Amino acid sequence: MAAMAAASLLCARAAAAAPALRLRGCGGGGRGARLVFSCSASSSSPSGEGGFSGKVGFLGLGIMGAPMASNLIKAGCDVTVWNRTRSKCDPLLSLGANYEPSPADVASSCDVTFAMLADPESAVEVACGANGAAEGMAPGKGYVDVSTVDAATSKLIGKHITSTGASFLEAQKSQQKMGCSSFLRQSRFFLGDVGKGADMKLVVNMVMGSMMVSFSEGLLLSEKVGLDPNTLVEVISQGAISAPMFSLKGPSMVKAAYPTAFPLKHQQKDLRLALSLAESVSQSIPTVAAANELYKVAKSLGLADQDFSAVIEALKAKEEQNK
């Protein structure tokens, strides 16, 4: 039950402006460590419990992290932020966030620190490197890693954090930027020991990346045979394979517009990590391997920072090469 409570997390309740927030993370030897503090959006909270004790840190203010941190601020949390590019902190500071010059300083000044970094290397550096968050952790504090990384990285970070007596929780989310405003209000699942959350996120993103490639092929084929790809999007939305991703991305893809919600370079990174995960257990995933190659082509075309739906341009480029 203690582990199940971990899934409810800090910000699930913060986003709903609830007064009491609990974090349970994996401590040494698999034992749970509990951190309790209160957070109330205002004295007019429905619970009637005023007061706010407990500071929240947020490391990494990219396309995913910034909306999450913003939502915590709007929920009434006392948030302290840090980002490698200092200017990315400015919008959060204008909302009332505090700033510290290093991850260690953020962790030292806060009760719970969230991290949303771009890749495993960044996640390890920010948590475990010089002036990393681990240097500011102590018993009674918590570190929640929301980054999409591999299980080995999660375990390494968890080991460094819990060695300080603090709690660690991996809490990967399965939504893109469009869902960040409701950060962790959605369903929560306890998946087991540290590393299983990372595995689940890689499997989910692996499926998502492959789906986007198939969808791209469908859009191009429909147009090639004289069908309206917009109609294809509508037909799919009303059938058994309906998915919000198709309805959201399809109209823009038809117009060759790819407003970034989830950068293509991150999708390719996740496919690479998923392939490594599959290799570690001798699982064949040929569809994912083929999809990964297309995302690599898209990156070579200068589309790394575009939305991952821009992978359709790799298919267009291949078609041009075959003419």
Residue pair 57/80 in contact by the 8 Å Cβ criterion: yes
Q: How many domains does the chain have?
A: 2
Say if 186 falls within a structural domain. no
Task: Examine residue 154 and state whether it is found in any structural domain, yes or no.
Answer: yes
pLDDT digit string, tens, across residues 31-41: 333 333 333 33
Please tell me whether residues 118 and 163 are part of one structural domain.
yes
pLDDT tens for 7-40 read: 334 333 333 322 233 343 343 333 333 333 333 3
Domain extent for 287: 198-317
Among residues 286, 300, 294, the alpha carbon closest in space to that of 314 is found at 294
The CATH number of the domain holding residue 295 is: 1.10.1040.10
Assess whether 132 and 212 both reside in one domain.
Answer: no
Side chain identity, residue 147: S
Is 80 in a helix, a strand, or coil? Answer: strand
**Is residue 44 scored above 50 in pLDDT?**
no
12 within some domain: no
Report the alpha-carbon distance of residue 57 to residue 245 in Å, rounded. Answer: 31
For residue 210, tell me if it sits in a domain: yes
User: Which pLDDT tens digit goes with each residue over 279-313?
Assistant: 999 999 999 999 999 999 999 999 999 999 999 99
96-139 pLDDT, tens digit each: 999 999 999 999 999 999 999 989 999 999 999 999 999 999 99
Residues taking part in catalysis: 201
Residue 192 resides in a domain: no
Q: What's the rounded Cα separation, in Å, for the pair 19 and 154?
A: 29
pLDDT at 54: 81
Whether 44 is covered by a domain: the verdict is: no
Query: Which CATH number fits the domain that encloses residue 127?
Result: 3.40.50.720
- 239 plus 161 within the same structural domain: no
For the packed helices 312-321 and 286-300, what is the interaxial angle rounded to 10 degrees?
80
